[in-house]
Every structure is written in structure tokens, then in C-alpha cells.
Amino acid sequence: MDFTDRRVVITGAAGVIGGWIAGAFARAGARLCLSDIRAEALGGRIAELGRDPETILLHATDLMEESSVDELVELVRRHWGAPDIVVNNAGVYPRGTRLVDLPLAEWDRIMGVNVRASFLVSRGMARLMIASGIGGTIIMIGSGAARQMRATSVAYCTSKTAVERLAKGLALELAPHRIRVNVVEPGFAPGSTASPLPEDYVAKMLARIPLGRTSGPDDASSAVLYLCSSVAGFITGAVLSVDGGNSIGTFEPSPG
């Protein structure tokens, strides 16, 4: 797919899935604005993309702070006027604590990064699109956890359910402005430094995936590019699972 000179904002761009999405858009010719609280890691991401650093906008965004999100939006306005595509990829996946033991500060962090920030970024960027008359696209990165509650990960599951409802609400309200909003649910992709996972948990999760592997670089990123392309021009408010069947239901491999 060709995204030459399309202006793409990606939050959580220093992460595993964020990096894959950034790479896919870079190869398709897009102009990038990469956002992540890990400023040093963002510099490394540019080197991986093999692009001229002068052509990429960077912002060390603290998604828990409204003023920092406002700075990201202003950066985009100042350099581009408005984005064509926004990918709300940033998220945290803490696990291992039951709700009765979960500190309020941790609940607020999960909801703040996964839900509140998606609202703030989408609101700010949508305002730029509307002001510029751009029929853009907003993507939320969801999770099958929105439909499968998991003990010790209830706050995360709740946040991802909220993200899907947020996306559908935005899709309704932004449709008159020709702004489409959709959700991509990536498959299990271990390796995040922000939310590290123990080896036994990774092995257990892998055994549950019907198609027998974890998510790779081309899986979720291809779905994102598809939903942002003209081919998907009549799709809004949709949720696309790209998880090897992991969210279908309980799966147990055949013995032998």
C-alpha cells in the first residue's frame, strides 16, 4: 500500500508493536511523528527505520499529563497543520495483582495511559483534522482482553473494553467530518520493556494460540495499514482481531 507523504502520528512508538507499525508506514512512504515517553529509545527507533532524522517528528510524551499531550498536538499543528492518520498504540499491561490488592495509583495509571490518553490524543488530533478539513483515520490498538476477562489483569481488561467503546463513540461523532475510527487487536507479542513478562507466562500464552505462534512484525501493522487505506474507506467503528485465533475461546492443543 502506498502512503507517500501521508502524515502519521504513532504513540508508544518505542515499543514492540509501535515499532512494527512505524516501520510499515515508513516503508510505505509516510511522514512520521513518533511519540513515546522513552526519548532515548525513540532515537534508536529512527536508526532502525533508516530514515533521515530531519524528516521525522519526535516527541517525548508523558501521556499521564494533559499538558504533554497538548504539546504533542501543537508540534503536529506547527509542522503539518494536521495529521492524516493517528495510531493510539501506547499502553501498559501490568498483571499479577488481584483487584482487592491493587493500589488506586496503579488503577489510575492503567486507565490513564490506556484510556484517558487515547481520548486526549484523539480529541486533540481530531480537532486539527476538522479545522483543516481532512478526512483522516484514527486507529486504537485494542486487545482480545476486552472480551476475555483474566484474573489478576482485570484493570487491563477493563481498560481495553473502554478503548473499544471509545473508538465506536468517536466513529459515530466524527463520521460527519469524514474521519474514520477503528480498532486493531494485535496478537500476543512478548518483548515489551514497559510491561515485561516472565518466560513461564509467555509459554502458557503461546500454548493457547490456535495458529501456534506469537504475533510478528507484519501482522497487526498490515491490519493497521489496511484500515487506514482507501480500500477500507467504508469501514468505521470496526474491531479487527489479528491474534491467531487467541480471542475465539479456550484452546487446548491435541495430545501427541
- What's the confidence (pLDDT) of residue 254? 63
How many domains are contained in the chain?
Answer: 1
User: Is 191 domain-assigned?
Assistant: yes
Maximum distance among all alpha carbons in the chain? 61
- What's the confidence (pLDDT) of residue 188? 83
For residue 254, report the phi and psi dihedrals to the nearest 5 degrees.
-70, 140
Q: What residues are annotated to the active site?
A: 156
- Cβ neighbourhood burial of 111 (10 Å; 0-12, 13-18, 19+): middle
| 8 A C-beta contact, residue 217 and residue 20 | yes
User: Is 252 domain-assigned?
Assistant: no
Instruction: Tell me which residues of the chain have a pLDDT lower than 70.
Output: 191-196, 250-256
- What's the confidence (pLDDT) of residue 193? 57
User: Is 14 domain-assigned?
Assistant: yes
Q: Pick the closest to residue 82 from 90, 74, 93, 94 (CA basis).
A: 74
Q: What is the pTM of this model?
A: 0.92
User: Is 1 domain-assigned?
Assistant: no
**Strand partners for 242:** 186
User: Is 92 domain-assigned?
Assistant: yes
pLDDT 10s digits, 85-134:
999 999 998 889 999 999 999 999 999 999 999 999 999 999 999 999 99
Give the range of the structural domain holding residue 130, as residue numbers without chain letter.
Answer: 7-240
Quick one: CA torsion of 66, 175, 89, 207, rounded to 10 degrees? 140
User: Is 193 domain-assigned?
Assistant: yes
| 8 A C-beta contact, residue 130 and residue 109 | no
198: domain CATH number is: 3.40.50.720
3-state secondary structure of 11: strand
- Residues comprising the chain, all counted: 256
Task: Compute the distance between CA of residue 190 and CA of residue 141 in angstroms, rounded to an integer.
Answer: 16
3-state secondary structure of 148: coil
User: Is 248 domain-assigned?
Assistant: no
- What's the confidence (pLDDT) of residue 194? 56
User: Is 251 domain-assigned?
Assistant: no
